[in-house]
A and B are shown apart, each in its own frame.
Chain A
Amino acid sequence: MDLKDKLVSSFMAFENFVDVDAAIHDVRSEAIKTFEIQGFPTKKDEAWKYTSLNSILRHDYSVFPKEENALEYHDVKKYFIHDIDTYKIVFIDGKYSSHLSQTTHDGIDVCLMSAALSKPKYRLIIENYFNKAAAKDSLTSLNTAFSQEGAYIHIPKNKVVEKPIQVLHFSTGNESALMLQPRNLIVVDENSHVQIIERHQSLTDNPILTNSVTEVFANKRAIIDYYKIQNDKDSASLIDNTFVKQKRESHASVHTFSFGGQLTRNNLNFYQQGERVDSTLKGVTIIGDKQHVDHNTLVHHIEPNCESHQDYKGIFGDRSTGVFNGKVMVNKEAQKTNAFQANNNILLSDKASINTKPQLEIFADDVKCSHGCTIGQLDESAMFYMKSRGIPEKEAKALLMFAFSNNVLDSVKIPEIKQRITKLIAKKLGVNLGFDL
């Protein structure tokens, strides 16, 4: 039985097992039908032309996580941002780990999707927001059909959440192959501010496939900064589907740092539903071996006087492959839009490749939209300059790559994250630079 059939036939059993409202049940049943009709995307789909899921779909994944496997904090501490105080929502093999988590209901809700989907006190938020941003494509629908667990974050109005919230997913290899479908909902009300860090980390060489859906709602004047750290093992793959809806004067940013994993696909979608909205989408990709990272972004400018900033940097070594597909849509009403998009890449080997494709659909006439993409090698004259000052080849290359990634790191607001990313980059490049950029 292939994975699609397995998932569809598992659905009935799953529905009997979970505890949800009738309304949610209807949403799920609808979603599994959509998935059944569409199936997994193939390279024949325009949006998947350069990314094939074949190699990761052939494993016989368990689709229901069974037991919670215990992990000790000191064994996984290094995957947390641990030098600052944070809220933590931690999952092990798809099951919530209360032991590793630090949730709260003190003025804000930082807790579990399973609780939000089943308890009456969350009903209003669920009714208003759950599945209201998510698209109806096959992978998102698949997640919707199986959505049960993940992070639930609701920040009521006028709250500046001082502590960042970390959402971590560990997989331990309990199953010979495991498919995870976390579902996150983040609702930030008027004038509130929150910072979120998300990480998926496999601790096993068994194949892991994560098909994650995150819905983010930034209400009036809300500020949301979201950091995704993707540095997983080569046996793990991630399809990240994130949908951000912004009301007027809100600011939302998503920084994606992709350094690992076998295959990573980021479907990142922003919808600007009010005036003077600001959206930031940035990413640094540094991969090698046969790794593959695909950024598929959409910014939909619906209202006037809004801005969007996209800046993606990629460094590709060995036989690694990258894709950047950035779509900007500007509706007729969205006058005075200022949309910026850049995708710059460095290929370190003849065997590495990047497919980059900006797509602009502009229906308004008074807008500023710019886009640019470059593909190059490391600057030889800069290399000689640094070497002539005593900096060896490897370190010189690393410095240039840091310099190349720097304007993405520049807008990271949490110093500890910036430091962590700097260290991850240094480790990835095999150097010790002795200073933090």
Chain B
Amino acid sequence: MSTLEKAKPAVKGKQQPLRKVTDLFGDASDRARDWWGVQTGVVRWSVYLALIVAALFLPHAGIGSFMSPHSDWQSILFYPIGGYILLAIGLNVVVGQAGLLDLGYVAFFAVGGYTMAVLGKIWGWNFWEIIAVGIVLAALSGILLGAPTLRLRGDYLAIVTLGFGEIIRISATNTDSIGGPNGIAGIPHPPNVTDWAVPANGLTEALDLDGLKPFTYGALDTRPYYYLLVGAIVLTIVLAKRLEHSRVGRAWAAIREDEDAAELMGVPTFKFKLASFAIGAAFGGLAGVLYGSQATSIIPEDFPFILSATILAAVVLGGSGNIPGVMLGAFLIAWIPERVRGVEEYRVMVFGAALVIMMALRPEGILPSRQRKAELAEGSGGMGAMGAEVGGPGGSDVEIEVKK
């Protein structure tokens, strides 16, 4: 421990001034994590509850006027923001936990979307049934992709998954029975659970909730879909967290950090890598079904490669392996382009600059997990050969210092 502390000033000394600012932020997030680590169940659950309640009030027009003055806050809260967050949590299982670089994640989102469209529009199934089918189909396609390709590592796996994403999109474009390039229009909305509306009074008006029918899925109000998505996100977080702290999670961590060593510990690496693909894909499929149920129509071009890259950017930017981190990353990636819509065609440039600045200042991600930070410092861990070759922020300095 003492050698580590000795190493720190040496690293900080030669950093640019801006990096000092972000280090302060990093120290703060470290402290927050330490505080969180010692809290009791009661405190934790109250924080969880508070966060969920806050999420329910988020569509407030007052918040929207600040957060997105140029577009409809309630719509973008459902998609892209909520959608990206759910996708990022799913991709995090693959990239952040098992350390497999998947560049075709959008394929599973597409499988979910098309399941919703085909079963809902053509076969007339009920939305709740379709959710289950969509998740299962996406998981199966994850296994279908993983079984032949997971013997590859690092960059090679990335290339094959990229191909898979394109295969799904191009197949959809060329399959007439699912609409070809025109996709499927007229996808039914989910059936209304109840037509109950929030009563109008002083309080609900202040909260901007008066007249809201939270369980009525129509074409105009996106808030009910947003609430549905919040529910899905909460469920996936619970599931992902449970997995992380199970034997499965330990196996994933071992695979991510050193796959051969994991096998030598008796971890059936192939089986667990396949499981991470299937689970990640299932989350993506869930996001796809929800997206399709609100969008009314989907086309193959809704699922371009750039979306895979964007979600991956969200995971890496936020702090791969850490759920609060990837959620924050997904939020920023979805929100920044909407926030800066006012600058018109410079929008993407501002977005790109924001990404570059964030990655330059915090290459380990905005809120990295401590384990992940140590892996990056060591120069291996995660993302196969790609991660190893890139190395970590100031990692080599730390290594040399410690060895003395």
Question: Are A and B bound to each other?
Answer: no
Instruction: Name A's B-contacting residues (CB within 8 A).
Output: none
| B interface list, Cβ under 8 A from A | none
